[in-house]
Amino acid sequence: MTSAKTTHTSNKRARLPKTIAGAKAYAKTMRNNHKEANAPITHAKALELTAHALGFSNWNIAAARLSNRPLFEPQIGDRVTGKYLKQDFTGEIVSVTRYDQGSHFQVSIHFDSPVDVVSFSSFSAYRQRVTALLDNEGICVKSTSDGDPHMTIISTHSAVI
């Protein structure tokens, strides 16, 4: 008699980190998950798997590239590009509130062009100014039912010199 092993998957996808600290935490979580599943891996293997998940050929390259990325530190007047509810946007940050000593930011962004926030083809609802709580990697802490963050900031251009 053979037994079938079932795996339960969540709708939420693991969010890939954008910083070296985030990548190390991701690798640590991966290692702990493997240990709990009775399939332990070494720390080095977890780092290599993390690098591959991020699109790098090995951990050394990932560490070098990630260490050069600044943390998200928004300022009023910054120009930003990103995704809001899976729609591309460009806009300007019009307000910022800093939380938890800079680990999170509530930002209000005025989009250059309104963004349709409804995915239903027979109906539209446009937003031009939105507020979101973002972490220090520029990723919204809230996500859609399929696991994508409500907002992700891809690039920031500071208005402050």
15 has pLDDT over 70: no
Confidence of residue 105 (pLDDT cuts 50, 70, 90): very high
DSSP letter string over 3-56?
--------SSPPPPPSSHHHHHHHHHHHHHHHHHTT----HHHHHHHHHHHTT-
pLDDT value for 93: 97
Task: Say what the pLDDT of residue 17 is.
Answer: 74
Write out pLDDT tens, residues 118-128: 888 899 999 99
More confident residue, 141 or 158: 141
- Among 16-25, 78-87, 92-101, 148-157, the minimum mean pLDDT is found in 16-25
Q: What is the mean pLDDT of residues 12-38?
A: 81
Residue 7 has pLDDT above 60, yes or no: no
